[in-house]
Amino acid sequence: MSPVGANVPRMSTLRILHLSDTHLLGDADARHNGIDTTAALERVLERAAGVAGIGLVVASGDLAEDGSVAAYEKLRERVDAFAAARGAQAAYVMGNHDLRAGFEQVLGPREGVLDVDGFRVIRLDSSVPGRGYGELFPEQLARLRDILAAPAEHGSIVVLHHAPVAAWTPLLRALELQRPDAVLAACGAGDVRLVLAGHYHHPVATVAAGIPVIVAPGVTNTTDVAPPPGHERASAGSGFALIDVPASGEPAATFVTAPAPGDGRLLFDMDPARVATIAAEYGVG
């Protein structure tokens, strides 16, 4: 995929601001691995404020770390205001850290479809309560196939938290999307132009089963994709993806950082034993 060129999208092109893994907390004094996640989100939105032509803001899961109503309200207030100021729409999906009650109370149904200038945006919930891995169950895949049975004007964009592509690091490999081939087959049987996901806390742009897949950087921190063998590490650093999807042809994506003092400092370093313990607790049992 080529990087986004001009700051103004071409006609009949949907420009997407793709955010993920905000991990917001209801308590204003609380921190996630030492990070003020609300400040990180505000910094990302400020960094994106100068981008012209955004028609859709996507937040692809792990929106709240504590699952509280207050955390989701923080997210909605900031993201909805950013979108509304640009005449854009916003789409939210569940991640493995999200809790259904708080999400639904503030953000509405966990799955759904919206039309954005002829592009069909399909929100899917890949979370499994109490676990860290992702799954789309047979009834969800059946609904997806039903939605895709009739083509949209400019095709469909699927948004979910767990990417249907392999993880790079040991803990995230234990918490991957289960049966990604079935998900990609359902998408490939319809008019899916693009899959957007999060969960990995680092950017990925690839093609799976002929479908472009983009994983956004984390807003709250950045995964180290080259840790010591068996370790899982993350450092301070925030970013987002910008994606242009033309009415026809290939999407183009670029990844943008939102710098802050202290970027690059190590937030955690899990040794293989700790990785194995978390994988056993939150992976596929």
Query: What is the Cα gyration radius of the chain?
Result: 18
Rounded CA separation 119/122 (Å): 10
Question: Residue 7's pLDDT is what?
Answer: 59
Please check whether residue 69 lies inside any domain of the structure. Answer: yes
Question: Residue 1's pLDDT is what?
Answer: 44
Outline where DSSP puts E strands in 191-251. 192-198, 204-208, 211-215, 222-223, 232-235, 239-246
Q: Structural domain tally of the chain?
A: 1
Q: Sorting pLDDT into bands at 50, 70 and 90, what band is 6? A: very low
**Closest among 119, 201, 117, 101 to 161, alpha carbons compared:** 201
Question: Residue 285's pLDDT is what?
Answer: 76
* Higher per-residue pLDDT: 4 or 90: 90
Half-sphere exposure at residue 134, Cβ-oriented, CA atoms within 13 angstroms = 33
Please check whether residue 158 lies inside any domain of the structure. Answer: yes
pLDDT digits (tens, 9 = 90+) for 213-239: 999 999 999 999 999 999 999 999 999
Percent of the chain past pLDDT 70, that is, above it, reads 96
Domain that holds residue 83: 13-282
Question: Residue 12's pLDDT is what?
Answer: 84
Count of beta carbons in the 10 Å neighbourhood of residue 194 = 23
Amino acid sitting at position 9:
P
Please check whether residue 265 lies inside any domain of the structure. Answer: yes
Are the CB atoms for 41 and 22 separated by under 8 Å?
yes
Please check whether residue 253 lies inside any domain of the structure. Answer: yes
- Residue-averaged pLDDT of the chain: 96
pTM for this one? 0.95
Please check whether residue 3 lies inside any domain of the structure. Answer: no
Question: Residue 48's pLDDT is what?
Answer: 98
Mean pLDDT on 146-171: 98
Please check whether residue 7 lies inside any domain of the structure. Answer: no
Please check whether residue 1 lies inside any domain of the structure. Answer: no
pLDDT digits (tens, 9 = 90+) for 161-204: 999 999 999 999 999 999 999 999 999 999 999 999 999 999 99
Question: Residue 4's pLDDT is what?
Answer: 43
B/e letters for 65-91, b = 16+ CB within 10 Å, e = fewer, are: bbbbbebbbbbbebbbebbeebebbbb
Please check whether residue 6 lies inside any domain of the structure. Answer: no
- List the alpha helices (DSSP H) in the chain: 37-48, 69-84, 100-107, 138-147, 170-174, 180-188, 272-282
Half-sphere exposure at residue 51, Cβ-oriented, CA atoms within 13 angstroms = 27
Q: Could you tell me the CATH number of the domain that includes residue 86?
A: 3.60.21.10
